[in-house]
Amino acid sequence: MKVLVVNLKLKRVVIFPFLVYISVVLFVNFVSDDTILIGDRFIGNTYKGISHNYIPLTSIGTYLFNFQSYNFDTWFYNTFGNVLLFIPMGILLPILFAKQIRLLSTVVIIMLFSFTIETMQFITQLGVFNVDDIILNTIGGFLGYMILVLSKNMRRLYH
């Protein structure tokens, strides 16, 4: 019974940061320096007319093998930024849904969430659909899940 109480307390503590995290992810993916706002409405951005990437590993390969052609910020954001952005989701989802969610379901939920973001970027033209972003986001979520599992295992070893 004591473990259940601790889990409920932990879930209550994690709910607000999770909601803030989701808000940050949505903001990062839909509001950029190039988004034009009038009043409180989006009216356009510079993504209109840019080609989307539907072929897996195309942009990942381009950024990794031609990194010298990009400034560091662009290179880092488009490779490791996507991974780092989704690590918290891989940690927070299993905490919030401890009894129902395991590795496979965590990865699938993250992949579907990322696919939804990319699809909405395509539909709204407030971003560029890139299948590689889905891959990198999913890797980030997987790494977050592994960090959570390793931290739980380390706690058991030292207690």
How does pLDDT run across 136-145, given as a tens digit for each residue?
999 999 999 9
Helix axes 82-96, 131-158, angle to 10 degrees: 50
SS3 state at 145: helix
Give tens-digit pLDDT for 77-135: 989 999 999 999 999 999 998 777 899 999 999 999 999 999 999 998 888 999 999 99
DSSP letter for 69, please: G
Say yes or no to pLDDT of 3 above 50. no
Alpha helices in 97-130 (DSSP H): 103-124
Point out the least confidently predicted range of 11-15, 36-40, 73-77. Answer: 36-40
Alpha helices in 31-77 (DSSP H): 58-65, 72-76
